[in-house]
Amino acid sequence: MTENEVYNRCLALLSRREHSQAELRYKMQQNGVDNSIIEKVLKRLDNNNYQSDTRFTEVFCRSRVGRKDGVNKIRYQLKQKGIDVALANQFLAQYADDFLQNAQDLIIRKAPRGDISKLFYNIKVKDKITRSLLNKGYDYDTIRLAFTLLKEENR
């Protein structure tokens, strides 16, 4: 593929959704494109502001927080997509309050028959919900704080 063909292919991918540089690099390598051409195209896309890892990270974080994924899961997914840890942490820090609220919402949703007062006395149910939140990527401190705040609200 020529440089212009690769550039147009990348633009087509970016027109559908934001991609990280690592994602674009991987997709072009899968198509057998030479690494020197890939790097030229990625630099050109960045210079023309068609591709930005910062913008990708912002959009990705916002969408995943909206799906109520936890901070650890989002951080792992960003790492898989080739995003720098410092950049990921910068955007994830903006959503600290949202993570806590989402954890509380999930606890309420998973409470038996919507009665959260039973959570504080039934260890098995509380542990089951805790495991569920851990699997969604929430850290234990956030989960514990969410339970504490819900308990205080229901006194």
DSSP string, 78-122: HHHTT--HHHHHHHHHTTHHHHHHHHHHHHHHHSGGG-GGGGGT-
Q: What is the pLDDT of residues 68-94, one digit of tens each?
A: 999 999 999 999 999 999 999 999 999
Instruction: Look over the chain and give the mean of its residue pLDDT values, rounded to a whole number.
Output: 92
Mean pLDDT for the stretch of residues 19-46: 93
Nearest-angstrom CA–CA distance, 67 and 101? 12
pTM: 0.88
Decide if 6 contacts 34 (C-beta within 8 A). Answer: no
pLDDT band at 35 (very low <50, low <70, confident <90, very high): very high
Residue 62 has a pLDDT of 95
Name the DSSP class of 17. S
